[in-house]
A = this chain, B = another copy of it.
Amino acid sequence: MNAHVFDQAIALTATGDGQYTGATSSAYANMVGPFGGITAATVLNAVMLHPALLGEPLSLTVNFCAGLADGPFEVSAQPVRTNRSTQHWVMAITQTNAAGEAETVTTASAVTAARRETWSVDDEAMPAVPVPSEVSPYTVPSPVEWIRRYELRPIEGAIPPTWDGTGSDSRSRLWMREAVPRPLDLCGLAALADVFFPRVWLRRATRVPAGTVSMTVYFHAGSAQLAEVGHGWVLGQARAQAFRNGFFDQTALLWNEAGHLLCSSHQVVYYKE
């Protein structure tokens, strides 16, 4: 049996001491380079595969320095500080350019933690929304390949059907999951956190070039809770807080169907007027 297309895309070969090689996947092609979510999942995978890993991801920050060129890349993941229950990671993706020089295309950091059960509570309740079976699938022809990897059911704030400049709000809510069944895990969740199309398209009902510059994911769920989600639906909500001089921020929340917050995620996104 072949590996799932997602697992093929984030696959890495260890070449020693936190160094790995991987390659871009045409299944996750975006406008320029791959879908940012698959890049985030790939650098997280380098941490997950590291023999020195302590615990599970708590936070992940990925800075997109440049679009990856189609082809092979190198990933490094180094644990720079290991405490009793937390571990700090610095990661990077490099590619060799036409001149034979290694160029940094992605920088990243993560904190992993060995967690224990404590008093816990969700302050962001899942909004009241129709169940997935009552929501129509997203059927707009996709301009980019990676969107086909997901089954998306927009509840509100879908991509505007016409680009007429009438937007007034930046919030989207949608049900989402892999198009080809795959049990949810930490890398899968990191990618899902980047599924939302650029908020500026919605807010202005105007399609302008846009791309994520930096994203952060705070994991509230661990691998055991995500395994329980299995191939179930995840509710995603994203909205912008300010659009200012070429960049906007997006704040997002992802819940499982039972209404537990799986992660919060934030990003800052370039847009062109």
Whole-angstrom distance between the Cβ of A252 and the nearest chain B Cβ: 11
* In contact, B116 and A88 (Cβ under 8 angstroms): no
Report the bound CA distance from A220 to B251 in whole Å.
14
A218 within 8 A of B: yes
Query: Which of A36-44, A61-69, A132-140, A184-192 sits within the interface?
Result: A61-69
Given contacts A83-B66, A104-B81, A247-B115, contact A241 B124 (CB under 8 A): yes
Closest to A225 in B: B244
Closest to A87 in B: B65
**A-side interface mostly:** strand
Closest to A105 in B: B81
* In contact, A216 and B264 (Cβ under 8 angstroms): no
Chain copies in the assembly?
2
Q: How large, as a class, is the contact surface on chain A?
A: 35 or more
Chain A 44-74 interface mask (CB, 8 Å, partner B; 1/0) = 0000000000000011010101100000000
* In contact, A88 and B65 (Cβ under 8 angstroms): yes
Which B residues touch A264, using CB under 8 A?
241-242, 249, 251, 266
Whole-angstrom distance between the Cβ of A126 and the nearest chain B Cβ: 11
Interface residues of A in 232-258 (CB under 8 A from B): 239-247, 249, 251, 253
* In contact, B90 and A271 (Cβ under 8 angstroms): no
Given contacts A241-B264, A242-B220, A266-B266, contact A247 B113 (CB under 8 A): yes
Partner of A243, one of B115, B117, B123, B249: B123
A17 within 8 A of B: no
Given contacts A63-B111, A81-B104, A264-B251, contact A117 B220 (CB under 8 A): no
Report the bound CA distance from A21 to B269 in whole Å.
33
Which B residues touch A249, using CB under 8 A?
218, 220, 264
A273 within 8 A of B: yes
Which B residues touch A83, using CB under 8 A?
65-66
Between A103, A120, A239, the greatest number of chain B beta carbons within 10 A of the residue's beta carbon is seen for A120
A170 within 8 A of B: yes
* In contact, A242 and B123 (Cβ under 8 angstroms): yes
* In contact, B121 and A242 (Cβ under 8 angstroms): yes
Report the bound CA distance from A261 to B92 in whole Å.
32
A213 within 8 A of B: yes
Given contacts A58-B214, A121-B243, A241-B253, 8 further A-B contacts (CB under 8 A): A59-B63, A80-B92, A118-B273, A120-B243, A123-B240, A218-B266, A222-B245, A251-B264
